[in-house]
Structure 1
Amino acid sequence: MMSVTKTRPKTILVPTGKWCGTRKCTVKQTRKQKYTIVTNQLMCCKGYVYTSGTDSCAPVCSTGCANGTCVDPDVCQCAALRYLDPNTRNKCLLPTCDHVCVNGFCSVNNTCVCNENYSSYNATHCAVNCAEGFEIDSSLNCVRKCEAPLYRHKDKCLTPTCDHLCVNGFCSVNNTCVCKNGFIAFNATHCAVNCTDQLDSNCAFKSTLDSVCDHGYKLNRGKCEPVCEPPCVNGRCVEPNVCECDKTLVKKNGRLCQDRQYGCGECRSDGTCLMTTRLVLIHTFL
């Protein structure tokens, strides 16, 4: 238990020395009156102090907790945006940046954190989140979005122009072609059907690109490859109707490669095999 002496104002009547009829006159005066209150108080552990307002024990930071809150004995938790000074115990510092943070605030590591409803535009500026169908311009204003293939130039949406065709695509800025969905770039002027996820070995460009490859070549998965008719056997087509045998193999004819053990004494210039035979003479003695 604990007793506390307090004071409170009390009004009393004080005689003035004058007579008011048969009685002396009085006036009201306010004086302080002491009184004692006996209460029950918590006993706080070391590192805590009693708080009468909440009738509880609160932690104490012996060195203070500037710009923060003492959450445990000698443990300071910094307020929002601030961080503990690594050199001074229980001192919270406000981050500083060597650049401005437009529509944001400076955080640790010299970075900007955007305010609510803003998104990062670059390292120093945050832009407001625009409604659907709008985008941010260079002045950080929300303007109506320029849908492809249009592009923004200052406050206008312009149509890009190219000095060449864009087959299966559309012209974009910097005189470049952008392929339509389902197509991939074949060269600077043509886009091909995207065969990456298709199992059909005959997947190739649409008919509009049939003339891209030279005569004797065909398109296969975005590349012009030579054609050998009939196909090479045990070899590969390296030029139109020109087969090249795999290692250890020799040409039997223009399209067929075989092991050397099957014999090809000499290969002609056209790739065919010149077979050599032995003439065996059998002498019969009578």
Structure 2
Amino acid sequence: MLALRIIIIFVLLPGVLLASICSRTEYGVGKQKPHVVKVCCRGYRYVTDETNNFSCEPICNEPCSNGSCVSPNTCSCNQGYENRLHMPSKGCVPRCSNKCSNGKCIAPETCSCDAGYELDEPTGRCAPICSTGCPNGFCESPGKCSCRQGYSLASDQTCVPVCTNECAQGRVCVAPNTCSCHERHIDIGLECLPATTESDSSSSTETTHPPVTTMTDCGFADIVQVKCLPEFIKNLKITHLMAIVMLLALIVLSCLMMLRHRRITSKDVERDKEMNVWGSKVHIIN
């Protein structure tokens, strides 16, 4: 661009200046001879500088903002600007290489986005705005999401996964063709059973699933039964295990203390017997 300007200034400009001055023959009154007068050609206007030097400058009907008028109705634009509609007779406007779609180019390589769009700094383009962020998809236009394959658009403009086969009772579609148990449900084999809590048992009187044998049904003393042992193992929690261990330790400790007490008591009895025997012998001797 700079080289082109140098060529225009030093090569073409002298020719343009010469072309801007035309000759006109004027005839005098009476016997005076005609003489030639230098005037500005059509499309140029007469100007004088501070020293009253004569010159002609081109006229552009549309102001060459961000550029200069180099010949009649022909603008030469500054760097970063271009002729509007690529017509030299039009003024100079900023140039944006990405065409600034969904916005307006307000300065070289600078876009001002329309309502509903925001500037994407890495690309310099105006991207649409979606309040949901369009997870599992992308924002196609302001407030409208377009979903990736395996997802469908919900009424709240979010992309939800699609399962070709309907998920079984107690399960929800969490990813394309992937079902998982509801929250507060336990995956046991092919079933999703609700996790039993004290609040659930007190507030809920009905269930959509068949009754499940639990530790409450069996009782601690019945865990050795065939029907209760599997459920005991499934529903056993760390807290239950710790309670059982502590109970067993307490029982063992009690047994040890009882054995120790019995041993001490038996020794005292034997000692008393021996004392009684020796006492009777001494009495007889006396």
TM-score range, shorter chain: 0.3 to 0.5
Structure that is richer in helix per residue: 2
TM-score (structure 1 length as normaliser): 0.33
TM-score (structure 2 length as normaliser): 0.33
